[in-house]
Amino acid sequence: MPKKLEPSHPGALTLADPSDEGVEAAVEEFNIGAKIRALRLARALTLQDVARETGFSPALISQIEHNNVSPPIATLAKIARALRVKVATFFQEGDVRRRFEVVRPDQRRKVDRMMSRLGSRQGYAYDALAFSVRNRKMAPFLLTIGKDGEAPEALYTHEGEEFLLVLSGRAELRIEEDRFELDAGDSVYLDAGLRHRLARLGEGEVKVLAVLCR
């Protein structure tokens, strides 16, 4: 059973903070920025329109559209909601409409080197585990929290539901005012509209299977 925590852990690492920014080639592989821009223009929305609905600045949205910023999943989830699409839309490749997909470890698409707005290393990365099946209802990711980085306190929300399974290491999950200690094998299912944050506990690396559904 997950163990509920009372005190905060200053050494914890935030897993996804909507204000985080970073640069990574994988964003260009998926061409996430171009997809966001195309969807925005197709819906006749300005940068200010998207910024107003997401709470991010127009400058940040522009940086994402030009693939200058590597956005955390929580950021993409808010942009997806503003554009009325699923997060999985940003991780689709090709025009083939497949009904199944096999992804080998060396075929995963990684987004890493996440940076905080203050310029320090987040130590957080995620691998997209599916990207060929179009119009899928789930978006699975392998999340890794490294040993380095700072620990912002911001909680985040996004549309839909979220499933987490800790594969290795120890993590802290905060949901609203509750804190839970999670060990390898522990899993969580939650309404992603609740303010939440997943963070590292201890000194070791943490790996988590995360599945977003909208």
Q: What is the DSSP letter of 99?
A: S
Summarize the confidence of residues 1-22 as an average pLDDT.
37
How far are the Cα atoms of 7, 33, 103, 105, 197 from residue 60, in angstroms, in the given order?
Answer: 34, 11, 32, 31, 22
Q: What is the domain count for the chain? A: 1
pLDDT of residue 23: 32
* Partners of 164 in beta bridges: 188, 210
pLDDT of residue 125: 80
Q: 123 φ, ψ to 5°?
A: 70, 25
Q: Which of 42, 100, 96, 73 is nearest to 210 (CA)?
A: 73
Q: Is 70 exceeded by the pLDDT of residue 143?
A: yes
Q: Domain of 65: which CATH number?
A: 2.60.120.10
140 token code pair = 């699975």
Over residues 43-53, the pLDDT tens digits come to 999 999 999 99
Distant-in-sequence, close-in-space partners of 42: CB < 8 Å, separation ≥ 6? none
Q: Is 90 exceeded by the pLDDT of residue 90?
A: no
Binning pLDDT at 50, 70 and 90, where does residue 148 land? low
Summarize the confidence of residues 96-122 as an average pLDDT.
66
pLDDT of residue 96: 58
Average pLDDT, the chain: 78
Q: What is the DSSP letter of 186?
A: -
Over residues 157-202, the pLDDT tens digits come to 888 899 999 999 999 999 999 999 999 999 999 999 999 988 899 8
Q: What is the DSSP letter of 43?
A: T
Q: Find the domain containing 10 and state its range.
A: 3-213
Summarize the confidence of residues 68-95 as an average pLDDT.
81
